[in-house]
Amino acid sequence: MKETENNEGMINASSPETKKPKQEPGLHINDGMKSASKKKRNFSIWYLLLVFLFFFFIGQMLFTSHMPTVSIDYSTFKDLVKNGTIVQVAFDQDQYIGYAMTKDEARSTLNELSRTHQLPQTIDTSSIIAYQTYMIDDPSFVPLLDDMNIEYYATEPVRPSALASIVSLLLPVIIFALFYWWMSKRITGGAQGVMSFSQNKSQLVAEGDTGVRFNDVAGENEAKAELVEVVDFLKNPQKYAEMGAHIPKGVLLVGPPGTGKTLLAKAVAGEAGVPFFRMSGADFVEMFVGVGAARVRDLFKQARENRPCIIFIDEIDAIGRQRSSAGIGGNDEREQTLNQLLVEMDGFDSRTGVIILAATNRPEILDPALLRPGRFDRQVLVDKPDLDGRESILKIHTKNMKLDSSVDLRKIAQASAGLAGADLANIANEAALIAVRAGHKAITQVDFENAIEKSIAGLERKSRVLNEKERIRVAYHETGHALTAYLTEGASPVSKISIIPRGMGALGYTLQYPTEDRFILSENELLGNVDIMLGGRAAEETIFGDISTGASNDISRASDTIRQMITEYGMSEKFRNMTLPRSSSGIEGVSGAKEYSEATQQYVDNETERIMSERYELVKSKLETNREALVNIAEELLKSEVIEGADFEALASKYVVR
């Protein structure tokens, strides 16, 4: 729109011959109206402003001639007067309007036109009856008109109507008033944000139906069974009241990240059909001391008003951390918030129908006061899913996916031991993405396997190139792991060996698919695991006669396992069936002081060293016996980069001697 207007202006200025009818002002107003009605939905102030503009234009329109007029420049105008086209001239303020016929003729023509045409859009040049130009201080003009015997007159100067003048007077005042009102609202709003701490965060609005049901949570059957009871508390409180039972106030969902704690809390609210107040522990923690406490007070007030309902505090460890007695590291704000939470939990009767759910993945750092009876006395463990759980989680997340007939979710579940629900959801999605990238019609088993590898071992790094010497070393190292696994009784079968570098650390990897989940490992199995970890380095030494840094992760895991066997599982000779504990330091990742003597520590170190070298020598001798197998499989690995489980099995059974 703007563009064409500009163009029009330019044509008018440069080429006087162009006789393009100027659009009626009425049209512009229509345009303005359209955009006004669009914007009003967006912003009321703009709406008001546009309403005023509308009136302003209405006023303008009232004074504007309805004659179809064409703008021409002064010299053309004068020429038209000279050649007799213009027979009548009106002096209209700062412009001349030249009529091509008398006023009466013009009026009748216009009437005729409006009958046949839809004015003003379609006026062809033949119907032009008036020309307009701007006045120039030309003393010869009036004499010319006299000479040509042309009728000329001045029109009454337009006086703005009462409405227009009122609008033009009031408009600035109104705009200013609106602006002032808006600013003051903002300023006081901001001040309130600082002054009234209890102001709710937007989260404090009760959420309607969460849309999540227990059916959307797979596995976690024990957790669900406990929470079904909570739903019943909310639905039929009188049943429990009649029996004289107290309904628990708080239920703490405990479990590793991504296992579906948040999901379960939503499912409880969804099943019970009650409002759901969700806040994250971090929402309570603010700069100012007292804000969090005020928020807690507010939260419980709201909950009481909306009962029965569920309060869900996600990541409660953000506020529920153990209060420290020492000044250092003490956090007044957090402690006040926690105290307020404790007070509020004591202060209400569970018969009111408010149940508090909280989630954390670090229950050990929570303040004991939070966990005592009457507060979060129920703890529901939301653990990583088992094989069946993983399969049903995969089922849920692949429900709406196009799966190839080759897909075996059971197998995928087997391959993803130790992963949480969120990881599995991610794997399913990743498989779909891979399938799209590969141009498959449906998601295949291979896509899933790639997705698992991607999530377990990190992205394939194609850009990372090993030199030939390193590649050979990695091949023997990985073959060492695999062969040791093959030679170790009771070890899970090798499912894949690869020397394609992945992620940040791994230059190659050997995957073993456990056939089932293991919760208990026997002493021999633990030692078998240690053997497999040591297999890589042992193979390197067998073949190259020296060892490399490539095994650092293997040996640290192996030593940790042996140390744990001695200190935690009571599997050493001297401290058989006895743990050697460490006190918890309260800081994650830092173990506390050991609660045993220096001499015992000495024993632990010596034993670790002894067992480790014993196992290492054992593995090395096994590999030396099977040097041929080691060489052949490593050569095959160097050729094809990846050996699948079945192929490895075939190669191993061909070369291995026991």
* Cβ closest to ligand ADP, residue 427 vs residue 533: 427
> Smallest Cα–Cα separation from 81: which of 171, 142, 18?
142
* Cβ closest to Mg ion, residue 420 vs residue 432: 420
- Type of residue at 41: R
Q: How far is the CB of 372 from Mg ion (least distance, A)?
A: 24
**Contact residues for 231 (Cβ-Cβ < 8 A; gap 6+):** 268, 271, 272
How many residues of this chain interact with Mg ion, rule: CB under 5 A?
Answer: 1
Query: Which residue in 262, 414, 492, 510 binds Mg ion (CB under 5 A)?
Result: 262
What are the tokens at 30?
Answer: 């229509």
Helices and strands counted in the chain (H then E): 25, 15
User: Which parts of this chain interact with ligand ADP (CB under 6 A)?
Assistant: 217-220, 255, 257-263, 359, 393, 396, 421-422, 425
* Cβ closest to Mg ion, residue 262 vs residue 498: 262
Q: How far is the CB of 555 from Zn ion (least distance, A)?
A: 9
What are the tokens at 121?
Answer: 């859009």
* DSSP letter, residue 516: S
Residue 263 contact among Zn ion, Mg ion, ligand ADP, none, beta carbon within 5 to 8 Å by kind? ligand ADP
Q: How far is the CB of 412 from Zn ion (least distance, A)?
A: 25
Q: Which of residues 439-478 bind Mg ion (CB under 5 A)?
A: none
Residue 531 contact among Mg ion, Zn ion, ligand ADP, none, beta carbon within 5 to 8 Å by kind? none
Q: Tell me the C-alpha distance between 459 and 173, whole Å.
A: 64
Phi, psi at 568, each rounded to 5°: -100, -40
Beta bridge partners of 644: 496
CB environment 487-519: b (16+ within 10 A), e (fewer)? bbeebbebbbbbbbbbeeebbbbbbbeeeebee
Q: Tell me the C-alpha distance between 292 and 115, whole Å.
A: 75
How many residues of this chain interact with Zn ion, rule: CB under 5 A?
Answer: 2
Rg (CA), the chain: 42
> Smallest Cα–Cα separation from 515: which of 413, 369, 390?
413
Q: Tell me the C-alpha distance between 525 and 489, whole Å.
A: 8
Q: How far is the CB of 412 from ligand ADP (least distance, A)?
A: 15
Q: How far is the CB of 516 from Zn ion (least distance, A)?
A: 24
* Cβ closest to ligand ADP, residue 90 vs residue 425: 425
Tell me: cis bond preceding 120? Omega within 30 of 0 counts.
yes
Residue 269 contact among Zn ion, ligand ADP, Mg ion, none, beta carbon within 5 to 8 Å by kind? none
Beta bridge partners of 276: 207, 310
Helix residue ranges per DSSP H, 398-467: 409-415, 421-438, 445-457
Q: Tell me the C-alpha distance between 356 and 275, whole Å.
A: 12
* Cβ closest to ligand ADP, residue 109 vs residue 221: 221
Q: How far is the CB of 359 from ligand ADP (least distance, A)?
A: 6
* Cβ closest to Zn ion, residue 449 vs residue 554: 554
| Closest residue to ligand ADP: CB criterion | 421
> Smallest Cα–Cα separation from 409: which of 437, 379, 451, 372?
451
Q: How far is the CB of 254 from Mg ion (least distance, A)?
A: 12
| Closest residue to Mg ion: CB criterion | 262
**Known catalytic membership, residue 220:** no
Considering Cα of 326, then 330, then 333, then 338, what sign does the dihedral take? negative
Map residues 499-538 to x or -, x wherever contact with Zn ion holds by CB under 5 A. Answer: -------------------------------------x--
Phi, psi at 89, each rounded to 5°: -130, 130
- Type of residue at 196: S
Q: Tell me the C-alpha distance between 653 and 452, whole Å.
A: 28
* Cβ closest to Mg ion, residue 262 vs residue 484: 262
Residue 637 contact among Mg ion, Zn ion, ligand ADP, none, beta carbon within 5 to 8 Å by kind? none
Q: How far is the CB of 250 from ligand ADP (least distance, A)?
A: 17
Residue 536 contact among ligand ADP, Zn ion, Mg ion, none, beta carbon within 5 to 8 Å by kind? Zn ion
Beta bridge partners of 524: none
Tell me: cis bond preceding 143? Omega within 30 of 0 counts.
no
Q: How far is the CB of 317 from Mg ion (least distance, A)?
A: 11
281 binds Zn ion (CB under 5 A): no
Active-site position among 333, 335, 344, 478 = 478
Residue 190 contact among ligand ADP, Mg ion, Zn ion, none, beta carbon within 5 to 8 Å by kind? none
Interface segment toward Mg ion; rule CB under 5 A; list 198-206, 259-267, 339-347, 468-476: 259-267
3-state secondary structure 434-445: HHHHHCCCCECH
263, 255 in Cβ contact below 8 A?
A: no
Residue 268 contact among Zn ion, ligand ADP, Mg ion, none, beta carbon within 5 to 8 Å by kind? none
* Cβ closest to ligand ADP, residue 257 vs residue 347: 257
Residue positions counted in the chain: 658
Residue 422 contact among ligand ADP, Mg ion, Zn ion, none, beta carbon within 5 to 8 Å by kind? ligand ADP
**Contact residues for 48 (Cβ-Cβ < 8 A; gap 6+):** 174, 178
> Smallest Cα–Cα separation from 342: which of 297, 375, 386?
375
What are the tokens at 613?
Answer: 């070298």
Q: How far is the CB of 406 from ligand ADP (least distance, A)?
A: 24
Residue 259 contact among Zn ion, Mg ion, ligand ADP, none, beta carbon within 5 to 8 Å by kind? ligand ADP
* Cβ closest to Mg ion, residue 85 vs residue 426: 426
Residue 528 contact among Mg ion, ligand ADP, Zn ion, none, beta carbon within 5 to 8 Å by kind? none
Q: Which of residues 546-565 bind Zn ion (CB under 5 A)?
A: 554
Q: Tell me the C-alpha distance between 178 and 195, whole Å.
A: 25
* Cβ closest to ligand ADP, residue 294 vs residue 382: 382
Q: Are strands 151-154 and 88-92 parallel, antiparallel or unpaired?
A: parallel
The residues of the shown chain that bind Mg ion, judged by CB under 5 A, are 262
Please list the active-site residues.
478
The residues of the shown chain that bind Zn ion, judged by CB under 5 A, are 536, 554
